[in-house]
């Protein structure tokens, strides 16, 4: 955190809107809501790539990023980044106007920005905002002060927990009069009365209990998700070590070997032998139904994908080899693609 006399901004970038709080001498001096959020990025991806809203949202979450230096990026990466930047430009403009307004009112110069909210998790967003706004930008680490919490102090967890923590801390504050109030004097919804202190106490205690329950639920969710991820990784490792030769012998003994249509295991072996060794061909999903094969895989370039397609077409039992959709992988460098083909029925090659 900043020194007590510093002026900084808390920017919560949500799905439909962004809230900006200006903090001066540890107190909120100005609040603004901007009707721009992650939804604008989703819509920009949907329009640029002609996707459904669901697929565009998934692309934003799984693969979204903004570049600050395009010198080593591919054309596809630059196009994707520019699409997202176009959606972020109005937000950057509104933030610039907000900080200029703070300065013009004599409230000081905003020296640093802390970002939070789901859309703040967009890859490389802090560096991009820092480049555009010419000031330091970093994630709000609201969990770093809670050492006894079972929730890991990670950017994703901080972004999701900040809203719940701010509501709970606001409700158990010393006095509602010290909170930032949009409606003042005769327009105020809160009026002091003989039961005001008791009501605030019970509201605060109730909110604290709900916040604790909510945090515990979030903690359990991330623990279970981490356990599931570990199990999946172990499953992949076991699959890689699977005794293929022994299983092939068992399949042949059960009538699934020579003289019959290729089995799924034999297809995978044929693929391994067909594709040149230097070519990256990382199979992620494999479907074999009624002699029809569908593969989702990762390769390092369009040329490598063409090489894979040509290799499959050279096999005597593979027909109707068709290359499907190609997109940039989550690492921003390799290519996701699909390829389908049919298996001829009859003798093995």
Q: What is the tens place of the pLDDT at every residue in 294-323?
A: 999 999 999 899 999 998 898 888 899 999
The reply to whether 236 falls in a domain is: no
Domain co-membership, 248 together with 226? no
**209, pLDDT greater than 80:** yes
Q: Which residue has the tokens 């297809």?
A: 267
The residue segments making up the domain with residue 270 are 244-343
Co-location of 20 and 161 in the same domain: yes
CATH number for the domain that contains residue 22: 3.30.420.40
One domain for residues 205 and 257: no
pLDDT beyond 90 at 66: yes
Do 262 and 309 have their domain in common? yes
Query: What crossing angle do the helices spanning 53-63 and 38-49 adopt, rounded to 10°?
Result: 110
* Higher pLDDT among residues 64 and 180, named by residue: 64
Query: Is residue 348 domain-resident?
Result: no
* Token representation of residue 109: 């110069």
Task: Give the mean pLDDT of 42-47.
Answer: 95
Task: Give the count of alpha carbons within 13 A of 227, CB side only.
Answer: 6
Residue 197, domain member (yes or no): yes
Domain membership flag for residue 184: no
What the block records as the tokens of 31 is 């609040």
Q: Are strands 282-289 and 136-139 parallel, antiparallel or unpaired?
A: unpaired
**Same domain for 76 and 45:** yes
- pLDDT (tens digit per residue) in 214-243: 888 888 888 998 888 888 888 888 777 766
Cβ distance 203 to 171 under 8 Å? yes
92 and 136 together in one domain: yes
One domain, residues 208 and 294: no
Residue 284 belongs to domain with CATH number:
3.30.1360.100
Does residue 187 lie within any of the structural domains? Answer: no
Q: What is the pTM of this model?
A: 0.48
Domain total for the chain?
Answer: 2
Structural domain contains residue 186: no
pLDDT at 62 over 50: yes
- Same domain as 169, residue 30: yes
Tell me, yes or no, whether 173 and 297 share the same domain. Answer: no
Percent of the chain at pLDDT > 90 equals 32
What's the whole-number mean pLDDT along residues 189-213?
73
Same domain, 136 and 216: yes
Residue 185 lies in a domain: no
Do 207 and 264 sit in the same domain of this protein?
Answer: no
- Tell whether 210 is covered by a domain: yes
Shared domain for 254 and 285, answered yes or no, is yes
């Amino acid at each position: 955190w900043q020194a007590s006399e510093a002026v900084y901004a808390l920017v919560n970038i949500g799905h439909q809107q962004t809230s900006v709080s200006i903090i001066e001498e540890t107190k909120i001096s100005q609040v603004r809501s901007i009707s721009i959020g992650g939804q604008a990025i989703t819509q920009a991806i949907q329009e640029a790539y002609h996707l459904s809203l669901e697929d565009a949202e998934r692309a934003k979450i799984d693969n979204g990023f903004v570049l600050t230096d395009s010198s080593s990026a591919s054309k596809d990466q630059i196009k994707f980044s520019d699409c997202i930047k176009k959606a972020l430009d109005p937000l950057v403009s509104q933030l610039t106007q907000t900080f200029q307004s703070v300065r013009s009112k004599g409230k000081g110069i905003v020296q640093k920005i802390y970002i939070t909210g789901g859309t703040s998790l967009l890859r490389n967003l802090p560096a991009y905002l820092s480049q555009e706004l010419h000031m330091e930008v970093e994630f709000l680490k609201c969990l770093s002060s809670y050492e006894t919490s079972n929730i890991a102090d990670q950017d994703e967890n901080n972004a999701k927990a900040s809203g719940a923590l701010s509501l709970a801390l606001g409700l158990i504050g010393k006095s509602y009069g010290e909170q930032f109030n949009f409606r003042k004097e005769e327009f105020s919804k809160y009026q002091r009365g003989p039961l005001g202190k008791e009501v605030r106490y019970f509201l605060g205690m109730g909110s604290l209990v709900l916040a604790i329950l909510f945090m515990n639920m979030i903690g359990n969710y991330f623990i279970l998700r981490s356990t599931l991820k570990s199990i999946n990784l172990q499953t992949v490792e076991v699959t890689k070590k699977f005794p293929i030769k022994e299983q092939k012998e068992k399949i042949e003994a059960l009538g699934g070997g020579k003289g019959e249509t290729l089995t799924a295991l034999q297809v995978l072996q044929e693929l391994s032998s067909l594709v040149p060794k230097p070519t990256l061909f990382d199979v992620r999903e494999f479907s074999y139904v009624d002699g029809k094969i569908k593969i989702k895989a990762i390769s390092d370039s369009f040329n490598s994908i063409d090489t894979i397609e040509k290799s499959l077409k050279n096999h005597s039992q593979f027909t109707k080899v068709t290359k499907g959709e190609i997109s940039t992988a989550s690492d921003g460098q390799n290519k996701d693609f699909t390829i389908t083909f049919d298996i001829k029925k009859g003798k093995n090659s």
